[in-house]
Amino acid sequence: MLLWLSGADLDTLAKVPREARKYVGLGGLVLTTAVLAMVSATFALYVGLRAPVVVALLVGLGWGLAIMNMDRWLISAAQRQRRWYLNLMLTTPRLLLALIIGTVVSTPMVLWIFNQEIESELNIVQRERDAAYQVSLTQDPRFQIIPGLEKSVAENQRVVDGTAPATSAAAGTEVGRLQEQFDKLDKEFQAAQKAATCELDGTCGTDKPGSGTAFRTKQDVADELKDRRDEVGKRLDTAVERASAADATASQSARRSAADNLAADKAQLAGLVAERDRLKARHDADSAENRGLLARLEALSHFTKDNSTLRSAYVALFLFITALEILPVFAKLLMNLAAPSLYDKIVGQADAKDEQTARAAIDYEHTAAVHYINSRAERDREVIDDTRDRMVTLEADVYRRTIDRWHADQVGRMAGEERAPSVRDRLARLTGLPRQTRPRAARDPGRADDFSPFPEPEETTEAPR
């Protein structure tokens, strides 16, 4: 089988069995490339197209056989030439074709070897794409109102539930303003009262204990602030009472309005969220399925771009597998460039003998064809001559028979005219007129004495040429 794969002539190898070893090696190279091609195609179909294992194996086997047959043809067609540059010119196109085939075959093999690193890179790329898509969904004008709708739904829900009472704007503003004044005055009062107490104890201020002038002054300020605070507190209590009354009045209508707004906002929010989730789910499904050959090549390029070690390993492995694929044709080129072996000499002699035999056969066929054509032409000439002679003889016989028939007719007619008087004589007797005669040239051409079996040539006035 290996000798057959090498493309060697088995009959010639039987005469020089020592030459069989190198052709066995050449056939082994062809078988190796076929096995690599089968493994590469099987991996590409199983990973890239998600084909079943059985289908991937069958198609991979077919691809391996095709590559094996093509490599066998490439090395079988690259026969030894007399000059080295002729061998190089003859093998270079085949070497380029083998290089293209090797590139196609080696790519899935490299992906298979770096499969673990590629899977990790695919996960990273997938997460980056998911994050980028999530950002694009957030920035989509259709979905930018979702946060506002969610806030509105929450507020309206609190109003409907009663946990956030609906306060009238005016009452709420008044309560807030008075509450702010009360808190400010209370803080000032607490500070003034603390200063007066400190002055009374003698721990600050004049550092003299007792209710002296300094103490009374500070206490008067504190009392004034307390009165002002109490007055604002009364006003605040009144405002709160009014706000509560207003809340009780507006609570029912506010809840109805909040319920209506809540239903509309919920419906709009549900539609937008459903559309966003649908787009996200479709993107996730597409992203999960995007793990074929192109995605793997992209991932391989991505993680080898910034890592010089991985890039060097990838390039070295790619070149190695490609070199294995072109090795049969390259080995055949080296064999053709080397000195002719005994096998080559015998094959050359056999080719020369076959050429001489073929030329002799062609010359023989040419001579036989020429002889046949000449013989056929001679036979055709003989047939034509015989036919012409036969036609002349038959024409003479026809003319002779025609003249004999004419002669017999004329003789019979003349005999009848001698026995019966002519019509002209009978008319002359009946009328008593003399018989009229006419010149011989004017007689009826139908008469027997004027008839000729051969037509006379027509007279013509055309001048002779």
CB 266 within 8 A of CB 136: no
Q: What is the pLDDT of residue 464?
A: 41
**In the predicted structure, residue 294 carries a pLDDT above the cut 70:** yes
**In the predicted structure, residue 164 carries a pLDDT above the cut 60:** no
Q: What is the mean pLDDT of residues 395-421?
A: 81
The DSSP string of 153-216 is HHHHHHHHHTSS----HHHHHHHHHHHHHHHHHHHHHHHHHHHHHHHHHTSSTTS--SS-HHHH
pLDDT in tens, 250-260: 566 667 777 77
**In the predicted structure, residue 112 carries a pLDDT above the cut 60:** yes
Number of C-beta neighbours around residue 419 at 10 A? 6
Q: What is the mean pLDDT of residues 9-22?
A: 80
The DSSP string of 306-374 is S-HHHHHHHHHHHHHHHHHHHHHHHHHHHHHHSPP-HHHHHHHHHHHHHHHHHHHHHHHHHHHHHHHHH
- Interior/surface letters 271-288, b for 16+ CB within 10 angstroms, e for the rest: ebeeebeebeeebeeebe
Q: What is the pLDDT of residue 6?
A: 79
Q: What is the overall mean pLDDT for the chain? A: 77
Measured over the CA atoms of residue 123, residue 127, residue 132 and residue 137, the dihedral's sign is positive
Q: What is the pLDDT of residue 16?
A: 82
CB 22 within 8 A of CB 2: no
| 129 CB burial (10 A radius; 0-12, 13-18, 19+) | middle
Q: Which residues contact 23 (CB under 8 A, 6 or more apart)?
A: 2, 3, 6, 8, 13
Measured over the CA atoms of residue 316, residue 318, residue 320 and residue 322, the dihedral's sign is negative
Name the pLDDT band for 98 (thresholds 50, 70, 90). Answer: confident
Could you give the 3-state DSSP secondary structure of residue 304?
A: helix
Instruction: Give percent of the chain above pLDDT 70.
Output: 82
Q: What is the pLDDT of residue 303?
A: 74
**In the predicted structure, residue 34 carries a pLDDT above the cut 70:** yes
Q: What is the pLDDT of residue 430?
A: 58
Q: What is the mean pLDDT of residues 337-363?
A: 80
Structure tokens at 172: 């709420």
Q: What is the pLDDT of residue 61?
A: 92
Helix (H) or strand (E) holding 433: none
pLDDT in tens, 246-292: 666 656 666 777 777 778 878 888 888 888 888 888 877 777 667 67
Instruction: Pick 464 or 377 by higher pLDDT.
Output: 377
Q: What is the mean pLDDT of residues 320-334?
A: 82
Instruction: Pick 264 or 161 by higher pLDDT.
Output: 264
C-alpha distances (whole Å) from 187 to each of 180, 287, 293, 317 are 11, 63, 74, 81
Q: What is the mean pLDDT of residues 80-106?
A: 77
Q: What is the pLDDT of residue 43?
A: 83
Q: Which residues contact 348 (CB under 8 A, 6 or more apart)?
A: 80, 340
CB 388 within 8 A of CB 395: no
CB 47 within 8 A of CB 111: yes
Q: What is the pLDDT of residue 409?
A: 85
Name the pLDDT band for 205 (thresholds 50, 70, 90). Answer: low
CB 16 within 8 A of CB 343: yes
**In the predicted structure, residue 358 carries a pLDDT above the cut 50:** yes
Q: Which residue has the tokens 């109490």?
A: 230
**In the predicted structure, residue 123 carries a pLDDT above the cut 60:** yes
CB 34 within 8 A of CB 68: yes
Name the pLDDT band for 62 (thresholds 50, 70, 90). Answer: very high
Q: What is the mean pLDDT of residues 180-206?
A: 80
Q: What is the mean pLDDT of residues 115-141?
A: 81
Using a cut of 0.75, tell me whether the model's pTM lies above it.
Answer: no
**In the predicted structure, residue 398 carries a pLDDT above the cut 70:** yes
Q: What is the pLDDT of residue 58?
A: 93
**In the predicted structure, residue 392 carries a pLDDT above the cut 70:** yes
Q: Cα 325 to the chain's mean position, in Å?
A: 26
Cα–Cα distance, 421 to 448 (Å, whole number): 15
Q: What is the mean pLDDT of residues 189-209?
A: 76
